[in-house]
Amino acid sequence: MKIIRPIDDRRLVGELADLWRSRGILAVLIMRDIAIRYRQAVIGIAWALVQPIVTTVVFTLVFVVFVRLPSSDVPYPIFAFAGLVIWQYFSRAVSDGAQSLVANASLITKVYFPRIVIPLVAPCSAAVDCVLAVAALVVIALLFGANLQWTAAFVPLVILFVGLFGYGVGLCLAPLQAIYRDIGIILPFALQIAMLLSPIVYPATIVPEGVRWLYRASPIAVMADAMRWALVGSEAPSSLGVVVSLALTVALLWGGLHIFRRLEGTLVDRI
Amino acid sequence: MTIAIEARGLGKQYLRGSLAHQRLRTLRDALSEWGSRAFRGRHADGSAGRVERFWALQDVSFSINEGEVVGIIGRNGSGKSTLLKIISQITAPSAGEVRLNGRTGTLLEIGTGFHQELTGRENIFLNGTILGMGRAEIARKFDEIVAFSGVEDFIDTAVKRYSSGMQMRLAFAVAAHLDPEILVIDEVLAVGDVEFQKKCLGKMHDLSQGGRTVLFVSHNMSAVDQLCGRVIWLDNGRLVEDSSDTYAVTSRYLFGRKEQRKTAEWRASIDEGMENEFFTLRWFRVRDEQGATIDTPIRNNETAVVEIGLSVRKPDPALTFGYALTNEAGVCVYWTSTEDAGYGHRPQITAGNIILTSVLPCGLLNQGVFRLDFMSAIRARQWLVHPNESRSSVLLRISGLAESQYLRNTWPGVIAPALRWNVEHPATTEAQNASV
């Protein structure tokens, strides 16, 4: 017996159970995303590698050749590539996640399935590109003579963490974007600024001492540092940063689920 | 008997002109509203008063038993789609509640989630899953779905290469294999050609026979009449009628006067009279040979007589009477008047009470509901009553065609004449001629 009431009084557990029951829908939506992204493209899924590689080359040119950044223990291209892979995954998960309800408006106005599935599609399908890029990163790192450590086992965890963090942000932004389109306008700009302010393509060591702790605690920096640490054994992210990031992820997921549940019922009327 | 759907005091409130209003509402508006409310204390009334609210659905209650097939009718904007959207959980109600007992499948549109870049095969899985089928279930029904759609040769081609007809057939094939306990369908029959609609109706008929609970919104009254054992009529968001006498309700709905029970007869005493300087219309009806008003469906080869009762004040040789026959799609089937007969054969219109009769063409009309609008004119000079403005209209329902096995489905075409067919056997005839 299913009861439909004005205010959804399901518990969070019920919502998660719904999500589990609709894993089939999640799977087909992810497949759809992956299938259509590179269909009718000549080099197909290889595009997933072109973007981070070209970006890495450009940043290497800028920071190593033009700016002459002080060299560190990790070769700059590896350093930048590791940061960019994480960043591009995060920014795709967030921007596609935020757009997801609007992009699937024709679906959610015609059929019901738990709506929390929708912002989850972007982090999952973008993870495929991310995994491919990480594989390329491993190959390049080996070419540069790096030795893989036991810490490499943490790479999947880092990717999972970035995905969950992205899902949390997407959950908060997607219903807001559905109602206020401002989000979609601000977001690309905000992401660009966040990337420039984060130690993705430059090390936190070039940042003045006074604000370095802020850099250490930023979840994006923690994610990039964790990736570099896991793959090429550079300095591990600060434990403060890890704790803050994990706490923030949990808070985002929890808050996102609540925002989502509050807006879910009448979302269709306002999209 | 188990109750499948129970609605209690169901209501849905929208903001007037909500879409236009809300699209323009930006984050800044929301923030400034919130800000001013915070600063000015409880001044929420001022900002809330700007938005006008209205109930798209109000206080709707009904309960539907398992296995019932219920039609929901009403004008556009009467709340039908809102009701379906609430029952299928697409949008939340503002008041009341719905209890659903069983797995619910929704079909508000054919091909929900179809993606142009994907192949037919991929789309079957995508669409099927979204509609609520499991992967194994789709895999099991896959061959059947493909066969039903008739697009076997293109199943691995992107759907964007399909014709729109092929896409629709494929989408319908998936939908038709949906197998929920409660099925909610909206206007699916409105799309597609006659053949397609016939296929849809046939499938719906099978579903309704299969003991499934079906909720079906349609503007096609003969479909509602044929398929549904019960009909719910919504008007302005309220439930007007809920009855198992589908014929009576759909007729009243089409006729637009719910207080009048007989729709097959118009009388001056019941409705506002119709008179002018030339005549007063006293009644207008369709009757059988015995003189009884026809208020049940008839087959298209039964005799029906259109009867016009008049009190003529000013006989004029150019005074003509007739009626226009319109089908439920709004297509004019024909006009006829006392002018139809050639000069010298027209009925004599004399002063005083007269009754004009005309037999409805036998074996000509297709199945459906027809509206007969009384009309009158002074030939070549002026309209007295134009059929489009006629307030004197009656309804006639044809159900069942002459000598045809297609009793349940409407035969394609505006009319369905029963024509005589002859056969010749030239070879035998020549042989006979030769032998003679």
Please give the ipTM for the structure prediction. Answer: 0.85
Residue in A closest to B7 by C-alpha: A4
Q: What is the pLDDT averaged over residues A9-24?
A: 81
Query: Which of A15, A38, A101, A110 to substitute to test the interface with B, most B CBs within 10 Å?
Result: A110
As a whole-number percent, the residues of chain B with pLDDT over 70 amount to: 83
The b-or-e profile of A173-184 (16+ CB within 10 A means b, else e) is: bbbbbbbbeebb
CB contact under 8 A, B18 and A28: no
CB B314 within 8 A of CB B278: yes
The lowest-confidence range among A163-167, B54-58, B156-160, B225-229 is B225-229
DSSP β-ladder status, B213-217 and B182-186:
parallel
Distance of CA B295 to the CA centre of its chain: 19
Cβ contacts of A125 on chain B, cutoff 8 Å? none
In this structure, what DSSP letter does residue A70 have? Answer: P
Which tokens sit at B402?
Answer: 């002459």
Q: How many CB atoms neighbour CB B204 within 10 A? A: 23
CB atoms within 10 A of CB A67: 11
Residue B341 has pLDDT above 70, yes or no: yes
Question: What are the distances in angstroms from CA B192 to CA B67, B176, B195, B199, B209?
Answer: 28, 15, 8, 10, 24
Q: Kindly state the tokens that stand for B39.
A: 């600063």
In the structure, what pLDDT confidence band is assigned to residue B44 with cuts at 50, 70 and 90?
very low
Q: State the count of interchain CB pairs (< 8 A) between A and B.
A: 110
Question: Chain A residue with minimal CA distance to B135?
Answer: A24
Q: Say yes or no to pLDDT of B24 above 60.
A: no
Does A47 touch chain B if contact means CB atoms closer than 8 Å? no
Q: Please tell me the predicted confidence (pLDDT) of residue B19.
A: 46
Tens digit of pLDDT for each residue in B374-395?
Answer: 999 988 888 888 887 777 888 8
* Mean pLDDT, rounded, for A233-239: 84
A268 vs B91, B98, B135: nearest CB: B91
Round to whole Å and give the CA distance between B111 and B386. Answer: 43
- Looking at every residue in chain A, the average pLDDT score rounds to 87
Q: What is the pLDDT of residue B287?
A: 93
Query: What mean pLDDT is predicted for residues B363-369?
Result: 85
Contact B125 A28 (CB under 8 A): yes
- Residue keyed to tokens 């030339």: B278
Chain B, nearest residue to A181 by Cα:
B26
Q: What are phi and psi of B65, to 5 degrees?
A: -80, 160
At residue B42, does pLDDT exceed 60? no
Residues of B in contact with A27 (CB under 8 A): 129, 135
Chain B residues close to A180, C-beta within 8 Å: 25-27, 30
pLDDT of residue B404: 53
Residue of A nearest to B12 (CA): A6
Copy the structure tokens of residue B191. Answer: 């799309």
Task: For residue B414, give every residue at least 6 positions away whose Cβ sits within 8 Å of its Cβ, in sequence order, or none.
Answer: B327, B331, B333, B366
Query: CA-CA distance, B174 to A119, in Å (whole number)?
Result: 26
Identify the band that residue A249 occupies on the pLDDT scale cut at 50, 70 and 90: very high
Please list every residue in chain A whose beta carbon sits closer than 8 Å to the beta carbon of residue B134: 24
Q: Which residues of B touch A (CB under 8 A)?
A: 14, 18, 22, 25-28, 30, 85-101, 104, 106, 108-109, 112-113, 115, 117-118, 122, 125-126, 129-132, 134-135, 158
A12, pLDDT greater than 60:
yes
Note the pLDDT of residue B26. Answer: 59
Residue B301 CA: distances (Å) to CA of B362, B368, B417: 5, 14, 10
For chain A, give percent helix, strand, coil, nearest 5: 80, 0, 20
B95 to chain A: closest CA residue: A6
Nearest-Cα distance to chain A for B209, in Å, is 24
Q: Which residues contact B295 (CB under 8 A, 6 or more apart)?
A: B262, B263, B264, B265
In the chain, the amino acid numbered B10 is L
| Of B16-20, B98-102, B213-217, minimum mean pLDDT range | B16-20
Burial class (CB in 10 A: 0-12, 13-18, 19+), B252: buried
The DSSP bridge pattern shows strands B238-243 and B230-235 to be antiparallel
Sheet arrangement for strand B182-186: B104-107, B182-186, B213-217, B69-73, B230-235, B238-243
Collect all residues of chain A within an 8 Å Cβ-Cβ radius of residue B89.
Answer: 4, 112
Q: Rounded distance, CA B53 to CA B273, Å?
A: 40
Tell me the per-residue pLDDT of A69-117, one tens digit each, with 9 for 90 and over.
Answer: 876 778 888 899 999 999 999 999 999 999 999 999 888 888 888 888 9
Contact B107, B173 (CB under 8 A): no
Determine the Cα–Cα distance for residues B105 and B184; give it in Å rounded to an integer: 6
Tens digits of residue pLDDT in B151-182: 889 999 999 899 888 888 888 888 888 888 88
Q: How far away is chain B from the Cα of A30, in angstroms, using its nearest Cα?
A: 10
Q: For A13-24, what is the mean pLDDT?
A: 85
| A107 near B CB under 8 A | yes
pLDDT value at A159 more than 90: yes
DSSP H or E run through B308: strand B305-312
Whether the CB of A9 is below 8 Å from some CB of chain B: the reply is: no
pLDDT, chain B, mean: 81
**Among chain B residues, CA nearest to A40:** B117
Tokens standing for residue A12: 């969070």
Does the structure show a pLDDT above 50 at A219?
yes
B90 to A113, A180, A263, A264, B10: CA distances (angstroms)? 8, 20, 12, 9, 15
